[in-house]
Structure 1
Amino acid sequence: MVKYIGSKRALLPWITGVVEQINAIDPLKDAVDLFSGSARVGHALKKMGLFVTANDLHTYALVLAQTLVQANREQYPPERLEPILKRLHRLRGQSGWFTRTYCQESRFIQPHNGAKIEAIREGIEREAAGDETLRAILLTSLMLAADKVDSTTGIQMAYLKRWAPRSFNPLRLEYPPLLPGEGQALQADALEIAPHLQADLFYLDPPYNQHSYLGNYHLWETLMRWDNPQTYGVARKRTEVQERKSPFNSKREAAGAMAKLLSGLRARHLVLSFNNEGFLGLEEIEALLKGWGYVVRLTQPHRRYVGARIGIYNPQGQKVGQVSHTENEEYLFVATHSKKVYHALRSREAGRLAG
């Protein structure tokens, strides 16, 4: 899986444990991951046996969801994909606009890997002609490979002053972690599509604060869209980063957006991820969820992403500002129509606090 500031990698056992507890009391058949991002949670829910619909507005997130949630491993097994990956890997590097923009004008990836990425990216269009799922799987393999040789702290707002040791490694394509079974990947604005979806459980992980996921992962967006966009700034972000804003990234608009979103959901259970760096307060979120009946708040400490722990540096490599804190409080708000689920989760949290 890619490095992702919103990733729930470390929190996944906690989240899936909560869903499993709900499932044990009130069996679930399907779930919606409405802000799927890296698709890590959607992938885990599919692994639990649920039919998962994963949605996100960004193209890189759609590709990840098409691979990790929608694709069926039985139709795209390793023995089918490995020969294609080997052919792509043997391609000779070709340096062009991608290498110039992201390896020379900025320094996210070493030029030798940038040229290899360009050749493979062009090769994918030839290999996957007419098969959108195969295309997504191959693109995911490329994104995962590029992520392992980048030179960032995990977000693409900036790159490291000196090349990261991993950036010297050669790019390697590998078979992504596909799962057997069906799923669905969508690309839409969550506020617009939510009223048209229905499932036993909705998992919500909206943006918490002012940081834009498109700005944080503009390189993956460009790699997936392959559109040679206009860019700006030292990080060579896509110019649309300045224009495409989510209401969840606005302190003034976040509460209204959350209220609108919750009013249109059709499900028996809702699990909402949030943390103490978000625009909305705990009581504010709980008040918005009251219409669902029973609301439980679960809490867990979590280390912040590595860039926040290292600190912030200017282009000259000088440290600016101070690290305010290295740990967050992560929250899961569970809203449910089931009194049994409510009491079970309350007991779970009480046991955690007592322990």
Structure 2
Amino acid sequence: MNYIGSKFSLLDFIENSIKSVNSSLNDKIFCDIFAGTCAVGRHFKTKVKQVIANDLEFYSFVLAQNYIVNHTRISNIQELFDELNNEIKTPLIKGKIFENYSFCGSQNRQYFSDENGAKIDAIRQKIQIWLDSKKIDKKVYFH
């Protein structure tokens, strides 16, 4: 996930800057403050002893759980992604994200395209259905 303000494009600069002060990172604890999409913490996860990520937004917590905390391999992950990306199995829904963050929504914002806003709503609702029906296990997927 990438968005305006993501530090993804700065990863080489950040790593080189840190290594110019201390070249040995493997025994260090890395703090990713204002973590956002956890691009920086995810990058350093395999390079340091521990990553601590912090952000005010709940979406950042969810991403940190997946990118930084989670060590579980999911055997059917491609099957799940395929279902989420299939508009017949997961039809677009004009829900909360569409209404509040898409141009044709009630707030007339253009954070997401109309199609992507509706797709996010559809995927979120499908995942909730899977959780409720026990098709996926919250402990495995959201550690």
Distance 2:82 2:100 in 1: 27
| Contact 1:33–1:54 (CA under 8 A) maintained in structure 2 | yes
Q: Secondary structure at the match of 2:51?
A: strand
Q: Secondary structure at the match of 2:8?
A: coil
* One-letter identity of the residue aligned with 1:134: Y
| 1:16 matches 2:12 | no
Runs (4 or more) in structure 1 with deviation over 4 Å come to: none
- Residue 102 to residue 9, structure 1, CA distance change in 2 (3 Å): closer
Distance 2:2 2:69 in 1: 18
| 1:126 matches 2:123 | no
Counterpart of 2:37 in structure 1 is 38
> What is the deviation of 1:68?
1.7
5+ long unaligned stretches in structure 2: none
Q: Secondary structure at the match of 1:33?
A: strand
Counterpart of 1:82 in structure 2 is 78
Distance 2:120 2:15 in 1: 35
| Contact 2:26–2:47 (CA under 8 A) maintained in structure 1 | no
| Contact 1:35–1:55 (CA under 8 A) maintained in structure 2 | yes
Q: Which structure has the greater CA radius of gyration? A: 1
Give matches, 1:231-250, under 5 Å.
none
> What is the deviation of 1:122?
0.5
Q: Secondary structure at the match of 2:9?
A: coil
The TM-score normalised by the length of structure 1 is 0.33
Counterpart of 2:63 in structure 1 is 64
Q: How many residues align?
A: 131
Distance 1:55 1:107 in 2: 27
Q: Aligned residues: percent identity? A: 27
| Contact 1:88–1:120 (CA under 8 A) maintained in structure 2 | yes
Counterpart of 2:4 in structure 1 is 4
> What is the deviation of 1:102?
3.0
Larger relative contact order, structure 1 or 2 (CA cutoff 8 Å, min sep 6): 1
| Contact 2:30–2:48 (CA under 8 A) maintained in structure 1 | no
- Residue 76 to residue 127, structure 1, CA distance change in 2 (3 Å): farther
| 1:51 matches 2:50 | yes
Distance 1:27 1:117 in 2: 37
Distance 1:13 1:95 in 2: 38
| Higher fraction of strand | 1
The TM-score normalised by the length of structure 2 is 0.71
| Contact 2:41–2:68 (CA under 8 A) maintained in structure 1 | yes
Distance 2:10 2:97 in 1: 34
- Residue 39 to residue 133, structure 1, CA distance change in 2 (3 Å): farther
RMSD: 2.7
Q: Deviations over 1:162-193 (max 9, x none)?
A: xxxxxxxxxxxxxxxxxxxxxxxxxxxxxxxx
Q: Deviations over 1:264-310 (max 9, x none)?
A: xxxxxxxxxxxxxxxxxxxxxxxxxxxxxxxxxxxxxxxxxxxxxxx
| Contact 1:92–1:119 (CA under 8 A) maintained in structure 2 | yes
* One-letter identity of the residue aligned with 1:83: E
Give matches, 1:270-285, under 5 Å.
none
Counterpart of 1:314 in structure 2 is none
> What is the deviation of 1:67?
1.9
| Contact 1:95–1:115 (CA under 8 A) maintained in structure 2 | yes
Distance 1:107 1:88 in 2: 25
Counterpart of 1:116 in structure 2 is 119
Q: Deviations over 1:189-209 (max 9, x none)?
A: xxxxxxxxxxxxxxxxxxxxx
5+ long unaligned stretches in structure 1: 137-355
> What is the deviation of 1:76?
2.5
